């Protein structure tokens, strides 16, 4: 996984509440799909008109935000399904960081698994970043510094954020969680042996 | 110190305390379905690992399968390859597969309790957000993403941060005609779709204790629609009676030991929760959603509310309702009884009881999609299918079907559907389809009337 340290770019505004994973990518697009190439389906219902042409009103179709690595969201961003395809699709669009007042739990966890940083900021702060960006989108850059845990707004204001220390170091170092857990294999096997004795009923009748 | 039920489910599964509220948790059971299953199994291999415990993994294809009578895995062409790949990976890894037409096949969250794959006090995960359904038997069950699923398959553990705890107590007695579906929709209406975010929710109180096991599964199913990844009910005699004798339930001395252990799985008196909410079940009326989020819900007797903001207005525009109009009487084109929320035998009985020899309104397309092969066979054995067919419903094959519409089936654009599923998101039942979530009895009544009605007076 790529390490995440600092990301800078124009912050694309998508401030409505309850952006769910069905809006980010419908489940139909994920039948048999892999992790790559899903960007073309990201927000497709909003990005494209019925005839396939681009909807110019959608922020991610507007010039300064097309290559934006940061997306500003509303309350409960990424609620709904567990589909990690939602994160893969947004990553494929070039996004690396989401800033919103709150996130759906599973989406939030899926971000870290893919080297993406979800940042929780107060709604007023998110709004302010959007306003400062809108004032001159082509050169109003927002930076998200994970090392120092601050968001630097286009006007240079620093807003601290907190992220779980464990997830922070995993992102900074690009750690592979499976490899980490594998180092504890003996502990896991010992737990299972103990549990089998303590809770035989949880293991009975499962022999293949 | 008094413990919550959550503590008693979580603590015994901690293989290693990772600090900062993080733990490496043992996962006792894993469910796979056709949308994420084959990929996850493939990815474990690609990353150079093998399955840690194939005996703890169970698979069934449910999403991208046609529900047409007489279907096979090829009926919906788009799903044929993922299912074929799942079968192949299952053969290579030796995990159990419950395939189409076999007893045990069904929607993952219907078949897991039905086969007693999930037991009280166990941890269970699946790459599916409605895994919380399984909390109804008193398990710690939750949905995870694909990467976490790969981690579980390779290690039989998962790194998790301890959630905060919430107790949602339903006091009093449910009025006649009101169901578990109405309880949870009313709660979501009150708390909002983010009200449970970050929490593990225990459903408690006399109205929950009075629910049959299948209704508790319905209650827990919509935990994620309240933002909570996990929701559960303390197991009791109702739970034990339900599980006893099922395929993977312990037997003999192990059963007795299990029940003794399960009886301790309740929140101790004086246990402290991060948040407590109480709702008087006696005040709940049959619920129906009026918008495009489960929190946009109201008693069926209410009028469509005036929009509180642009999101409400957008929802009304999509759903085609005007603020102030009565919900009752809104014409309905489709009815879907099914999904992991409400497709169990008791749900089908509830719906069939409303029919009483009457016919589905001529302009309504009405489907019943049993949640599993077993539900289907049991319903047929007691003649429920005949009652549905005589009334003018279609009696279909088990699967997710019109809940998520990834199987080539959908509600046509602009059509209004009353559905017993759990998500009324824009486009969920088809592009432009308008979904109203309700209980099976409410859905059956809507099919007969051809309009939204109050099941209590129908
Ligand atoms: S029935 Fe619906 S909610 Fe349940 S698992 Fe299937 S698609 Fe998901």
Domain map of chain B by residue range?
A: 5-276, 288-457
Residues A112 and A169 in one domain: yes
Ligand 1: list residues with CB < 6 Å: B 62-63, 107, 109, 128, 130, 339-340, 400, 403-404, 421-422
A168 shares a domain with A186: no
Q: pLDDT tens digits, residue range B382-403? A: 999 999 999 999 999 999 999 9
Q: How high is the pLDDT of residue A208?
A: 65
Contact A208 B255 (CB under 8 A): no
* A155 belongs to a structural domain: yes
Count CB-CB contacts under 10 A for residue B263. 14
B229 has a pLDDT exceeding 70: yes
A108 and A26 inside one domain = yes
Residue A1: inside a domain, yes or no?
A: no
Query: In angstroms, rounded to a whole number, what is the distance separating the alpha carbons of residues B141 and B226?
Result: 16
What DSSP designation does A188 have? Answer: H
The answer regarding whether domain B288-457 maps to CATH 3.30.499.10 reads yes
Q: Helix, strand, coil proportions of chain B in percent (round to 5)?
A: 35, 20, 45
pLDDT in tens, B152-204: 999 999 999 999 999 999 999 999 999 999 999 999 999 999 999 999 999 99
Quote the pLDDT of residue B395: 98
Give yes or no: residues A181 and A99 share one domain: no
| pLDDT tens, position by position, B70-121 | 999 999 999 999 999 999 999 999 999 999 999 999 999 999 999 999 999 9
Give the one of A75, A109, A205 whose C-beta lies nearest to B194's C-beta.
A75
More confident residue, A176 or B67: B67
* Residues A131, A191 within the same domain: no
- The residue segments making up the domain with residue A181 are 176-208
The CATH superfamily label for domain B5-276 reads Aconitase, domain 3 (3.30.499.10)
The helix or strand, by DSSP H or E, that contains position A36, with its residue range, turns out to be none
Neighbours of A48 (CB within 10 A): 16
**H or E, element range at B159:** strand B157-161
**A195 in any annotated domain:** yes
> How much of chain B exceeds pLDDT 90, in percent?
98
Q: Whole-angstrom Cα distance, residue B113 to residue B221? A: 13
pLDDT in tens, B27-47: 999 999 999 888 899 999 999
Residue B412, min C-alpha distance to chain A (Å): 16
Q: List pLDDT tens digits, range A5-55.
A: 899 999 999 999 999 999 999 999 998 888 899 999 999 999 999 899 999
Let me know whether A190 and A139 are in one domain: no
Ligand 1 atom with the shortest distance to the CA of B371 = 1
**Exposure of A1 in the CB half-sphere (CA atoms within 13 A):** 27
Instruction: Specify the residue with its C-alpha closest to ligand 1, atom 6.
Output: B400
CATH number at residue A169: 3.20.19.10
B143 touching A, CB under 8 A? yes
Is the domain of A123 the same as that of A110? yes
Tally of structural domains, chain A: 2
- Does residue B45 sit at the A interface (CB-CB below 8 Å)? no
Please report the pLDDT score of residue A33 as a whole number: 84
Residue matched to tokens 């074929």: B84
Question: 3-state DSSP call for residue B244?
Answer: coil
* Summary mean pLDDT of chain B: 97
Residue A166: list chain B partners with CB under 8 A: 18-20, 22, 159, 161
**Residue A151 pLDDT:** 98
Q: What is the pLDDT of residue A1?
A: 61
| pTM over 0.80, yes/no | yes
Q: Mind telling me how many Å the CA of B74 is from chain A's nearest CA?
A: 14
Closest CA relative to residue B169, chosen from B273, B300, B261, B240: B273
Can you tell me the mean pLDDT for B427-445? Answer: 97
Lowest mean pLDDT among A59-63, B129-133, B351-355: A59-63
**CA–centroid distance, residue B403 to ligand 1 (Å):** 6
């Amino acid at each position: 996984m790529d390490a995440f340290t600092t990301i800078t770019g124009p912050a694309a505004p998508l401030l409505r509440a309850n952006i769910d994973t069905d809006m980010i990518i419908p489940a139909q697009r994920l039948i048999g799909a892999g992790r790559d190439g899903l960007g073309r389906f990201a927000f497709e219902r909003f990005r494209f008109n019925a005839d396939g042409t681009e909807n110019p009103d959608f922020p991610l179709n507007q010039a300064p935000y097309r290559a934006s690595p940061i997306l500003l969201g509303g309350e409960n961003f990424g609620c709904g399904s567990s589909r990690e395809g939602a994160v893969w699709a947004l990553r494929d669009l070039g996004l690396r960081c989401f800033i919103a007042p709150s996130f759906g739990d599973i989406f939030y966890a899926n971000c870290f698994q893919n080297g993406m940083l979800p940042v929780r900021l107060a709604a007023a702060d998110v709004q302010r970043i959007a306003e400062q960006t809108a004032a001159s989108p082509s050169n109003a850059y927002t930076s998200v510094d994970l090392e120092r845990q601050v968001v630097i707004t286009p006007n240079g204001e620093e807003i601290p954020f907190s992220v779980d220390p464990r997830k922070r170091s995993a992102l900074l170092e690009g750690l592979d969680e499976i490899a980490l857990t594998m180092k504890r294999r003996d502990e896991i096997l010992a737990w299972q042996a103990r549990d089998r004795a303590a809770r035989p009923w949880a293991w009975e009748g499962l022999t293949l | 110190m008094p413990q919550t039920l959550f503590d008693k489910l979580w603590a015994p599964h901690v293989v290693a305390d990772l600090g900062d509220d993080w733990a490496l948790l043992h996962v006792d059971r894993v469910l796979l379905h056709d949308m994420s299953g084959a990929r996850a199994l493939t990815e474990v291999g690609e990353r150079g690992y093998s399955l840690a415990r194939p005996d703890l993994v169970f698979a069934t294809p449910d999403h991208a399968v046609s529900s047409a009578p007489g279907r096979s895995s090829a009926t919906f062409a788009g799903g044929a390859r993922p299912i074929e790949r799942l079968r192949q990976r299952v053969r290579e890894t030796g995990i159990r597969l419950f395939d189409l037409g076999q007893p045990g096949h069904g929607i993952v969250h219907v078949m897991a309790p039905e086969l007693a794959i999930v037991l009280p006090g166990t941890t269970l995960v699946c790459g599916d957000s409605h895994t919380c359904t399984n909390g109804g038997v008193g398990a710690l069950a939750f949905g995870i993403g694909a990467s976490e699923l790969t981690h579980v398959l390779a290690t039989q553990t998962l790194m998790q941060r301890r959630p905060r705890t919430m107790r949602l107590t339903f006091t009093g007695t449910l009025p006649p005609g009101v169901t578990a579906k109405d309880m949870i929709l009313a709660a979501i209406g009150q708390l909002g779709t983010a009200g449970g975010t970050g929490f593990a929710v225990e459903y408690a109180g006399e109205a929950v204790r009075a629910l049959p096991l299948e209704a508790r599964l319905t209650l827990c199913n919509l935990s994620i629609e309240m933002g909570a990844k996990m929701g559960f009910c303390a197991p009791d005699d109702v739970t034990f009676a339900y599980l006893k004798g099922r395929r993977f339930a312990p037997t003999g001395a192990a059963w007795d030991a299990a029940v003794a252990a399960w009886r301790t799985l309740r929140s101790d008196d004086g246990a402290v929760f991060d948040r407590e909410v109480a709702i008087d079940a006696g005040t709940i009326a049959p619920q129906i959603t009026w918008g495009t989020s489960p929190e946009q819900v109201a008693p069926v007797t209410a009028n469509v509310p005036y929009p509180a903001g642009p999101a409400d207005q957008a929802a009304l525009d999509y759903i085609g309702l005007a603020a102030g109009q009565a919900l009752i009487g809104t014409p309905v084109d489709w009815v879907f009884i099914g999904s992991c929320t409400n497709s169990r035998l008791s749900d089908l009985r509830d719906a069939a009881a409303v029919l009483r020899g009457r016919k589905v309104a001529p302009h309504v397309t009405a489907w019943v999609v049993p949640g599993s092969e077993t539900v289907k066979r049991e319903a047929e054995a007691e003649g429920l299918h005949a009652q549905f067919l005589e009334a003018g419903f279609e009696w279909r094959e088990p699967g997710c079907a019109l809940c998520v519409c990834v199987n080539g089936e959908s509600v046509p654009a602009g059509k209004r559907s009353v559905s017993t599923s759990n998500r009324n998101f824009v486009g969920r039942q088809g592009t432009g389809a308008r979904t109203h979530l309700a209980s099976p009895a409410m859905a059956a009544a809507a099919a007969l009337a051809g309009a939204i009605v109050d099941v209590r007076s129908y």
